[in-house]
Structure 1
Amino acid sequence: MRLQGKVALVTGAAGGIGLATAELFDREGAIVVASDIEPPPKPYPSSIERVHHDVTSEEQWATVVGAIVKKHGRLDVLINNAGIIAYEPLDKLEMKEWLQMIAVDQTGVFLGMREAVRVMRKQQSGSIVNISSIWGTAAVAGAHSYHAAKGAVRNMSKNAAMTYVADGIRVNSVHPGFIHTPLTDAQEPKLNEAVIAMTPMKRGGKPLEIAYGCLYLASDEASYVTGIELNIDGGYLAQ
């Protein structure tokens, strides 16, 4: 029960890393609000609260966080997980594709942190975990907008960590390597095989392996941890 009594909001919780994190937090005693623009493939346990949530909407962020505070009185943990991926190189990237990526993967994180910080400053406590990527640190050919957004999340997290450290708010980023999720399962197998081949452990990760990293950062066990990049990547970034 490492999160006993804590109120946690997990975005992008209909599948993959978000779903694994929401379910793990629930097992660890948290009051979990799971948000996504899509419903989960199967119902959540009755103890998890589901909310429809478009992370690109400023109004919906205010509504979702406001409802959590009204019902539970606080917000202790935010997991900014909702995201999309695309692989267009710079010269073939259309403006609408660029704007969509930035809206979901970067602006969604900004809006989430802003709403959470406004609550957590009043509490003088809280933990924010932003899901970046190995490609927020290292680069491969193509995927220009994804690299841009995830790289921004990396530094946005550090900025917020330094800005609000005196308010008892911890902000960290998690950088997954290749993880088997519905998002990656929908990709070309050859693309997935190429990333796994570049991973020293020679396998893809499981969503639960990322969820356990989020659990540590959300818990009081990480009370002296802020501004870090937690790489959970099978050794990819150690090369």
Structure 2
Amino acid sequence: MQTLSSASVRFLADLKLYLLASGKNEQATQDIVTELENHLQEAEADGKSTDAITGASPADYMKSIASEMTTDYRESFAILLQIFTGVFCYLLFQDLLDGPLAYSLYFLIGFIVLISLFLIALSQLFRYSATHADSKRRFVWFGLYGSLTFLLLIGLFFTDPLVPSPMIHFSWWSSWLIGLFAFLFTVYTAYRAKTWILPLGLLAYLLPQVVIRFGFDGSPLLAVLVGYLFATSTMTGLFFYETNFKKSQHTEG
């Protein structure tokens, strides 16, 4: 089998990312990527470049393919649920470090709204990443986006005590059962999706906090900041690894 050029491999990875971020069915996306891979192999065997298939603008080519495909709302909802549960794990285990879970209605509603906006914007960011080749700019955008989301969540934490709202309390047992279920669900969805960004990012967020708070008796604020830096670095690195370097395994296979 002909080995694809780095440009073609990159295009196929970006196309898959763009279509999935646009809510297209995973199997239909894979079928299109496989078909295009065959076309690219034939084109390169004849001495042609990736542009012979995609045209002068790969981004426009991706958009045209996406416009011809049906959006899979059921699968999109399942993916959003997976991401939402993964993000919610950060909140759960952060709070479990301080005791049984207890949330105000204001906080729960605000958290749901913020994460919903986060997921909508993340989809747009993935599509931007797939259609722009500048890796440094993509890295900056992901860093800024993650920082903004973190600041908004911090704002929600600070305003929570100032807004009167009914409280929902959980016992120790129910708190840990909720946390265990959420983490297992995150691991399960990571296994199904073949990406370990969320669970590994969660561990990178929590382990430094446990060491700082309970090993060195450090302040909770310092622990959160260090955990955030570790998690952001880990998740950003894993994202670029899976989208830019893992594709080499595909071409070698």
Point out the structure with the larger strand share: 1
Q: Which has the bigger relative contact order, CA under 8 A and spacing at least 6?
A: 2
Please give the TM-score of this superposition, normalised by the length of structure 1. 0.28
Point out the structure with the larger helix share: 2
Please give the TM-score of this superposition, normalised by the length of structure 2. 0.26
